[in-house]
A and B are shown apart, each in its own frame.
Chain A
């Protein structure tokens, strides 16, 4: 099967590609990247007006299977990922049962096999994510996890964190920390600010995040290992990461589009779709996150896609669960909020959403050069569209972005000899 992508504007900073090219793909492998290719092919697609980039990877998603298939399944999560421009997902272990042994890892790998999207489980650090004893890290490493996390909770026992760093370093896998000191966030549901006071909602201070980030950096410095800070939301945490990097520690960090697109003003409606952990912060935090993205402190943009059923979100704000979905809005929010505002270049976005996450978690490489797998995302940077949660491929609709007008759309993805196009393109037979 030969596919020719015509007139694609190809951008790949790994090979300093930034121009219009034709790309010839044969059986899922890029064969030629040239200015003008004329060859008899099975399918020719005109990508005029589109940009083609190394495929994006989302290293922080909740796929809910096994256990909460009413909210999301591996299959619907994969569909949402394709719609959202991702060909690789790392899924968090807070499933039921938790991903804390090889069997569950294998189950997820089997369920996602032969798909366009590569799914990589993240193993729990502790058994049943209880924070008491180490899970079977070695067994899970052999089964193919790409990191360890008790995401949803921080590991509060510092000795256990130390063991986790020491033990996981034997497999060269990162610990992904959800930074939250639980003693500071009892009942907390939104960022502590003047808004939490005005709304009367129990506060969830940024102090809880920065304390655990500081602790983990200190432990990392003491005993080695690899640390990845999940969903950084507070300006102080950006500073912790910046300083840790200055010390050349093995630490990376990520931010979600909702944390740089929204502030805790969004909670004023008591819309439970704005309830997320860590909570939406203030404008000065947003500014610091953006600064951290610009200066390279923050390596990765990931969605923390967290599906919840309508029933679960139809509660009083304090009773509703934390979390919002993000797979299908992540790229467009990033383009709208960071690219079109000239905060990040497209190359920088490719680093944050493809090159860096793939490197940190040792995922299949994506690059636009001959003899490499065609692992690509097609974008239209200037297409404007209105977010319609009812048209999502995800099984859940818990997004606060419904009705938002965004600029930049995912047109399609290619990987594993498969292609998925979201938009009608001119296909020349």
Chain B
């Protein structure tokens, strides 16, 4: 059964069967990348463009590795400045690239909805690698994959996302995906970082970290992003750490054997302490490995879907 859509723009509204298909497919790729020869010919002859309008290292590398392991031809387009300042619209940029005959576009952009806009401009398949504060679907898929691997299931698992929810595409994609998969979802952070009316989605909102820890089987801890201008919605990094930092004492105090996840990069000593980041509860590096498998699965499922269409 193919995916229901020829693009992956977000997890909002994505059917459970699609998410399950991606996670199941990723499991096979996860085995492949443990082999001595990690490359499969699945996307041979396909051209994938990584269109990155916002600086990113790990997501781009993860996608690039996934594409190369599927034998696709890979083109990296990074615009350090926004297309606006260059005087060329997104429309012209992508139409130019598409004119060179490409099959798939992986886009990262600071403007929410850019991947949706892209689908109205070009015929290639579009994969969202993060758009503004909107969605980052492959990150949430790899997070869900990691939860399923570690806890054996997603349904019924208590997951709390901690940090600046209002400015986090990782948080939103996780919320959408986890709710679809039947997890119990919570968020925790200062009230200034939690979007208004979030409870309407069926999400528990905590402002006290101890309550959040008591609730959780999984803590997904977000990077406190100073670069997004978030600094105005909380007083200081020190205070953030004091109120919301995940430390060994805090976990011990709340008795919890809890899975620690983080999308990276980590601010050690801010959102979580070093001992926790490096503890046996932490699956942060496994998330990174799983990320490659998830992206291979998404590229494969979308890439082979093209062939079925043709």
A193 at the interface (CB under 8 A from B): yes
Q: B128 to nearest A CB, angstroms?
A: 11
Establish whether residues A315 and B89, one from each chain, have CB atoms under 8 Å apart when the complex forms.
Answer: yes
Bound Cα distance from A199 to B112, whole angstroms: 7
- Residues on A with C-beta less than 8 A from B172 are 197-198, 200
Task: Determine the chain B residues whose CB is within 8 A of the CB of A269 once the complex forms.
Answer: 116
Bound Cα distance A104, B172 (Å):
49
Known pairs A197-B195, A197-B198, A319-B84; A202 contacts B113 (CB<8 A):
no
**For residues 192 through 225 of chain A, which have their beta carbon under 8 Å from a beta carbon of chain B?**
192-194, 196-203, 205
Please tell me which one of the listed residues A192, A193, A205, A316 contacts residue B111 in the complex, with CB atoms under 8 A apart: A316
Selected interface stretch from B19-27, B63-71, B131-139, B218-226: B131-139
User: Are B111's CB and A194's CB within 8 A?
Assistant: no
- Residues from chain B with a CB closer than 8 A to the CB of A270 are 112-113, 116-117
CA distance A232 to B133 in the complex (A): 28
Contact A200:B134 (CB < 8 A) given known A317-B117, A319-B111: yes
Contacting residues of chain B (69-84) with chain A, CB-CB under 8 angstroms: 84
Please give the distance in Å from B229's CB to the nearest CB on chain A: 9
Give A270 to B198 CA distance when docked, in angstroms: 20
Q: Is B295 an interface residue (CB 8 A)?
A: no
A205 to B196, CA, bound (A): 10
Q: How far is the CA of A202 from the CA of B172 in the complex (A)?
A: 14
**Distance between Cα atoms of A88 and B182 in the complex (Å):** 58
Contact (Cβ within 8 A) A200 B84: no
Q: Which residue of A lies closest to B12 (CB)?
A: A198
> Is A130 in contact with chain B by the CB < 8 A criterion?
no
> 1/0 contact trace for B151-178 toward A, CB 8 Å?
0000000000000001001001000000
**Contact assessment for B201 and A200 in the assembled complex, using a CB-CB cutoff below 8 Å:** no
Interface membership of B309, Cβ < 8 A? no
How far apart are the CA atoms of A269 and B112 in the complex, in Å? 12
Q: How far, in whole Å, are A199 and B197 apart by their CA atoms in the complex?
A: 14
- Are A193 and B197 neighbours in the complex by a CB distance under 8 Å? yes
CA distance A22 to B54 in the complex (A): 68
Could you tell me the distance between the alpha carbons of A315 and B201 in the complex, rounded to whole angstroms? 29
With a cutoff of 8 Å between Cβ atoms, the chain B residues found around residue A202 in the complex are: 133
Interchain CB contact under 8 A, A318 and B112: yes
| Contact across chains for A314 and B111 when beta carbons are under 8 A apart | no
The answer for the CA separation of A202 and B197 in the assembled complex, in Å, is 15
List chain A residues, Cβ under 8 A from B195: 196-197, 203
* CA of A199 to CA of B201, assembled, Å: 13
Contact of A197 among B90, B132, B197 (CB under 8 A): B197
Q: Are B134 and A199 in contact (CB under 8 A)?
A: yes
**Chain A positions 47 through 74: 1 when the CB is less than 8 Å from some CB of chain B, otherwise 0:** 0000000000000000000000000000
Of A193, A196, A197, A316, which one neighbours B114 at CB under 8 angstroms?
A316
Residue in chain A with minimal CB distance to B53: A316
Do residues B132 and A200 form an inter-chain contact, with CB atoms below 8 A? Answer: yes
Contact status of A200 and B197, CB under 8 A, knowing A314-B91, A315-B89, A318-B111: no
**Smallest CB separation, B39 vs chain A (Å):** 35
Q: Which of A199, A203, A314 contacts B89 (CB 8 A)?
A: A314
Contact across chains for A197 and B196 when beta carbons are under 8 A apart:
yes
A193: B residues at CB distance < 8 A: 196-197
* Residues in A whose Cβ lies below 8 Å from that of B166: 197
Contact A318 B132 (CB under 8 A): yes
CA distance A197 to B133 in the complex (A): 8
CB <8 Å contact, B197 and A317: no
Q: Tell yes or no: B108 within 8 A of A by CB.
A: no
B91, B133, B196, B200: the one within 8 Å of A200 (CB): B133
Taking CB atoms and an 8 Å cut-off, the chain B residues in 187-213 that contact chain A are 195-198, 200-201
B97 to A: closest C-beta gap in Å: 16
Closest B residue to A314 by beta carbon equals B91
Are A316 and B201 in contact (CB-based, < 8 A)?
A: no
Closest to B201 in A: A194
Chain A residue nearest to B200 in the complex (CB):
A194
Q: Which A residues lie within 8 Å of B200 (CB)?
A: 194
Minimum Cβ distance to chain A for residue B54 (Å) = 12
Across the interface, B90 reaches (CB within 8 A) one of A192, A200, A205, A315, namely A315
Residues of A within 8 A of B112 (CB): 199-201, 270, 317-318
Chain A nearest CB from B109 CB (Å) reads 7
Which residues of A272-325 are within 8 A (CB) of B? 314-319
A269 to B116, CA, bound (A): 8
* Shortest beta-carbon distance from A202 to chain B in Å: 7
Q: Which single residue of chain A is at the shortest CB-CB distance from B165?
A: A197
How far is it, in angstroms, between the C-alpha of A192 and the C-alpha of B198 when the chains are bound? 11
**Which residues from chain B sit less than 8 Å from chain A, CB to CB?**
12, 84, 89-91, 109, 111-114, 116-117, 131-135, 166, 169, 172, 195-198, 200-201
Q: List 22 A-B contacts (CB under 8 A).
A: A193-B196, A194-B201, A197-B166, A197-B195, A199-B134, A200-B132, A200-B134, A200-B135, A201-B113, A201-B132, A201-B133, A203-B196, A205-B196, A269-B116, A315-B84, A315-B90, A316-B113, A316-B114, A317-B113, A318-B111, A319-B84, A319-B111
Chain A positions near chain B (C-beta within 8 angstroms):
192-194, 196-203, 205, 269-270, 314-319
- Minimum-distance CB pairs A-B, first 9: A200-B134, A316-B111, A270-B113, A200-B112, A197-B195, A200-B133, A194-B197, A318-B111, A317-B113
